[in-house]
Amino acid sequence: MDTRVEKTIERHKKGYNCAQAVACTYCDLVGVDEETMFKMTEALGLGMGCMDGTCGAVAGACILAGMKRSTGNLEKPDSKAESYKLSRAILGGFEKANGTAICKELKGIETGKVIKSCDDCIKEAAALAEQVLFS
């Protein structure tokens, strides 16, 4: 697969939040149309809870992990462990590179020290999604 990392930034510049920028760029690879993915990830931007939660770009990548791996078996959920493993690889890679995946910490809200810009978080989460999910 050719990299789509720069396409995530194009979406972000159009007004997509960080989660939408990542998840919508790869939605075709997990069988979801862009409008549906856009709606699914709308509340995940700005660090899920006005910067207090997980970086939206990472959350968007983890949504892709579930969509890629889940069997959708409602009667006997049987794919959670594998979905969690993919999600953990994405989150772990992001945390290893940055020391955190919490939006307000990445943006230096309390410390005044920015660890990573939104665009750079999006690029990193997209690269991890490509590596973990689509390589």
Mind listing the pLDDT tens digit for each residue in 74-104?
A: 999 999 999 999 999 999 999 999 999 999 9
Structure tokens at 74: 């409602």
pLDDT, residue 48, reads 83
Mind listing the pLDDT tens digit for each residue in 107-119?
A: 999 999 999 999 9
Mean pLDDT score of the chain: 96
pLDDT, residue 1, reads 77
pLDDT, residue 51, reads 82
Residue 121 neighbours by CB under 8 Å, 6+ apart: 18, 55, 57, 58, 106
pLDDT, residue 45, reads 87
pLDDT, residue 98, reads 97
Structure tokens at 111: 């410390």
DSSP string, 49-88: TTTSSB-HHHHHHHHHHHHHH----SSS---HHHHHHHHH
Q: CA–CA separation, 19 vs 49, rounded Å? A: 13
